[in-house]
A and B are shown apart, each in its own frame.
Chain A
Amino acid sequence: QVQLVQSGAEVKKPGASVKVSCKASGYTFTSYGLSWVRQAPGQGLEWMGWVSAYNGNTNFAQNLQGRITMTTDTSTSTAYMELRSLRSDDTAVYYCARGHGGTRFDYWGQGTLVTVSS
């Protein structure tokens, strides 16, 4: 069965960086892209960007360009999202999600809480 298992919660200070991992299993990793979606406390869903597990191509939300990196390691079927220059409004649960047909997200990780606080 398809599973996406994310790394654990993080607490960071403003200005620091965070790197969240998403380990995939149950399918051919390189056949699907992965998106990252975040959700601030009590708020809705915000798409952050997408990475191709096949060739590493990326596409980021405009408001995060310059602060975000997404990579994959095909040897371990793991995707990574790094966000730099963290601010308090980056406090959120971060999800990885498998893209199906490029149009929808059919499997999601369990989420990783990132708290940015001084």
Chain B
Amino acid sequence: EIVLTQSPGTLSLSPGERATLSCRASQSVSSSYLAWYGQKPGQAPRLLIYGASSRATGIPDRFSGSGSGTDFTLTISRLEPEDFAVYYCQQYGSSRGYTFGQGTKLEIK
């Protein structure tokens, strides 16, 4: 099973700053199978990025994804107050199903 490790566990930043979140896989992942979600307290997760770098419908262009192989990154270029949430990466492993990273909490500094 592919394990996804996200870092940092918590990221403290101010509105207007740039956020860089990392997701590292225990073995190579096809970029087509890597997605990012954001989750606010009491809400369901929301798809942000799929195929490692494609924005989902309605997602602002301040969100971007990059990476390949075992290292992937979610970047939020200029943080808005509504961006403070927990972010998860997720990969699809064919017959083995899906796995999520443990999450990165993005909090207001």
Q: Could you list which residues of chain A lie within 8 angstroms of chain B, going by C-beta atoms?
A: 35, 37, 44-47, 49-50, 59-61, 95, 97, 100, 102-106, 108-111
Contacts and interface: CB of A to CB of B under 8 A. Distances in A.
Contacts of A103: 32-33, 35, 50-51, 92
B102 A104 contact: no
A102 B35 CA distance: 12
A106 B47 CA distance: 6
Interface-centre pick from B32, B56, B88, B98 (highest chain A CB count, 10 A): B98
Contacts, number: 56
Interface of B: 32-33, 35, 37, 44-47, 50-51, 56-57, 88, 90, 92, 95, 97-103
B98 A47 contact: yes
Main secondary structure of the interface of A (DSSP, over half): strand
B100 A105 contact: no
